[in-house]
């Protein structure tokens, strides 16, 4: 049943989701049909009470209410079922740390991911993307998600650790991350620890992957300490353990936590975004045609894109933005109230779990008409409305917004431009579009596609020298 609460500016509605099972609450529905379950919640209010196992939790279903939560991280701190689980993996790293220690950690890591700095990573991104194309001969079936995980793991590990990971170790990191991410989701929606202590194959696989990942990070740190200083994120972290730069020294454990955090966040979401983009493009020939036209016009005969091309890759950026709206890899996040508080007129006790979902906000038909339609043109300069910009939060908002948002956009645009400039990916005969099965992140986890060489790139027009890209002006891109 719903009740209406009048606020100074807005009237919020609150309610409870129906269908609570004893002990498991809504966990079964969330595990089996998470997106359908999410989409059903706004019908019950702007703030909807659900049960995750025996725990009460509140789902925020309106963009403005979501901003209210995200803009007050002292009251709505990191915590709740997701972060309780992630904390076991990432310790006290930037993603999981509580608000009182957040500012110093963010200050330490921010410089490497400042917008002014990310252009410096362009070469390594396109080099790795080109290497993927070389392993994709025309006429072959290619494991797209696996290749994107490989690509993004190598890119983020080069940003963090220069060349400290050899190919075999990078592949081991990629495989461990895949197993860990799979295991984390079920532990989030079914927060009953005893189940995960059972010696099942899945539980063993999860624990093995965790142990291996921690061991790899420890080895990398130990070897760097024995060798020369490097100008990368690990170099910054090790300098911080000596208290260089005047800030209080950080501990060895913090170095470890930061590295594992950045490896996981920097590889997984990014790989799913790229895989989802290829899948969506193959199902939307007109969007794909416009992307190819832009790439041929801006990059000509297969030239590698560089940072100077970014302002002209307007349609490419629109494809990435629309992928992030349509198939946002980060689809569900939790917070915990640090004190008794009021949200949407509802009294929440201290320790209450509050959830928000970019997927839910991005699929609201009032904000994004025909939300299931993949339409990159929604993001052409000047077209998104204020409401759409407010509701679009693939990287979250407020002080805990993604550290790597700008880096992620640059990596996705350059990798997509490099690969789509050289290869065309088609779904295999008999491919059926199925609702994505979310884990801790969401996206096509095992996408396999057919690879063709792009013939149009060879006969493409010469690179454009005008300030227009493809069919669009780009001055405010």
- Report CA dihedral (438, 443, 449, 453) to the nearest 10 degrees: 180
Pick the closer one to ligand HEM by CB: 221 or 260. Answer: 260
d(CA 235, CA 253): 15
Nearest to ligand HEM of 272, 460 (CB atom): 272
d(CA 258, CA 383): 38
Please say which residue, 128 or 296, places its beta carbon nearer to ligand HEM: 128
| 153 vs 174: CA distance, rounded Å | 6
> What is the smallest separation between the CB atom of 475 and ligand HEM, expressed in angstroms?
26
CB of 183 or CB of 329, closer to ligand HEM: 329
In whole angstroms, how far apart are CA 97 and each of 286, 335, 387?
Answer: 44, 12, 31
**Residue 452 C-beta: closest distance to ligand HEM, Å:** 26
Separation in Å, CA 260 to CA 157, 174, 196, 405, 429: 10, 12, 22, 18, 39
CA-based end-to-end distance of the chain: 45
Give the β-pairing of 448-453 and 423-427: antiparallel
Quote the least distance from Cβ 389 to ligand HEM, whole Å: 16
Provide the minimum distance between the beta carbon of 201 and ligand HEM in the complex, in angstroms, as a whole number.
30
- Of the pair 183, 404, the CB lying nearest ligand HEM is at 404
- Judged by CB, which is closer to ligand HEM: 13, or 30? 30
The binding site for ligand HEM (CB under 6 A) comprises: 94-95, 106, 113, 261-262, 265-266, 269-270, 273, 329-330, 333, 394-396, 400, 402-404, 407-408
**Shortest reach from residue 468's CB to ligand HEM, in Å:** 27
**Closest residue by beta carbon to ligand HEM:** 404
CB of 121 to ligand HEM, least distance (A): 10
From the CB of 348, what's the least distance to ligand HEM, in Å? 18
Nearer to ligand HEM (CB atom), residue 235 or residue 300: 235
Is 267 within 8 Å of 174 (Cβ atoms)?
Answer: yes
For residues 14 and 48, the answer to whether their CB atoms sit within 8 Å is: yes
DSSP label at 43?
G
């Amino acid at each position: 049943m719903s009740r209406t609460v009048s606020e100074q500016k807005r009237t919020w509605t609150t309610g409870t989701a129906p269908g609570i099972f004893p002990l498991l609450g809504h966990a079964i529905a969330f595990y089996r049909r998470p997106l359908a379950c999410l989409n059903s919640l706004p019908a019950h209010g702007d703030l909807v009470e659900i049960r995750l196992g025996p725990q009460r939790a509140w789902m925020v279903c309106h963009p403005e209410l979501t901003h209210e939560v995200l803009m007050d991280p002292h009251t709505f701190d990191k915590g709740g079922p997701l972060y309780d689980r992630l904390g076991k993996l990432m310790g006290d790293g930037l993603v999981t740390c509580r608000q009182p220690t957040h500012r110093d950690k963010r200050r330490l890591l921010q410089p490497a991911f400042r917008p002014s700095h990310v252009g410096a990573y362009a070469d390594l991104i396109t080099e790795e993307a080109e290497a993927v194309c070389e392993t994709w001969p025309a006429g072959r079936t290619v494991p797209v998600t696996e290749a994107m995980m490989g690509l993004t793991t190598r890119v983020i590990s080069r940003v963090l650790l220069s060349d400290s990971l050899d190919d075999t170790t990078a592949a081991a990191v990629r495989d461990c991350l895949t197993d860990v991410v799979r295991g984390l989701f079920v532990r989030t929606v079914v927060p009953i620890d005893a189940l995960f202590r059972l010696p099942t194959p899945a539980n063993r696989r999860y624990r093995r992957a965790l142990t291996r990942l921690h061991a790899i990070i420890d080895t990398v740190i130990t070897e760097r300490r024995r060798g020369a200083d490097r100008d990368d994120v690990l170099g910054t972290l090790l300098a911080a353990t000596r208290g260089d730069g005047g800030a209080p020294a950080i501990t060895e454990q913090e170095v470890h936590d930061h590295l594992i955090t950045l490896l996981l966040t920097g590889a997984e979401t990014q790989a799913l975004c790229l895989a989802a983009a290829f899948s969506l493009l193959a199902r939307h020939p007109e969007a794909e045609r416009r992307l190819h036209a832009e790439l041929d016009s801006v990059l000509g005969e297969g030239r590698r894109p560089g940072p100077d091309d970014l302002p002209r890759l307007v349609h490419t950026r629109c494809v990435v933005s629309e992928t992030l709206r349509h198939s946002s890899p980060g689809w569900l996040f939790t917070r915990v109230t640090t004190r008794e508080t009021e949200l949407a007129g509802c009294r929440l006790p201290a320790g209450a779990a509050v959830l928000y979902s970019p997927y839910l906000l991005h699929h609201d038909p009032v904000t994004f008409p025909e939300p299931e339609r993949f339409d990159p043109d929604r993001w052409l300069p000047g077209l998104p409305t204020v409401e759409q910009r407010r509701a679009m939060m693939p990287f979250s908002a407020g002080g805990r917004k993604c550290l790597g948002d700008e880096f992620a956009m640059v990596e996705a645009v350059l990798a997509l431009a490099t690969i789509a400039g050289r290869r065309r990916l088609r779904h295999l005969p008999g491919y059926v579009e199925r609702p994505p099965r979310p884990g801790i992140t969401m996206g096509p986890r095992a996408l396999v596609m057919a690879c063709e060489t792009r013939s149009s790139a060879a006969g493409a027009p010469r690179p454009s020298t005008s300030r227009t890209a493809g069919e669009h002006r780009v001055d405010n891109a």
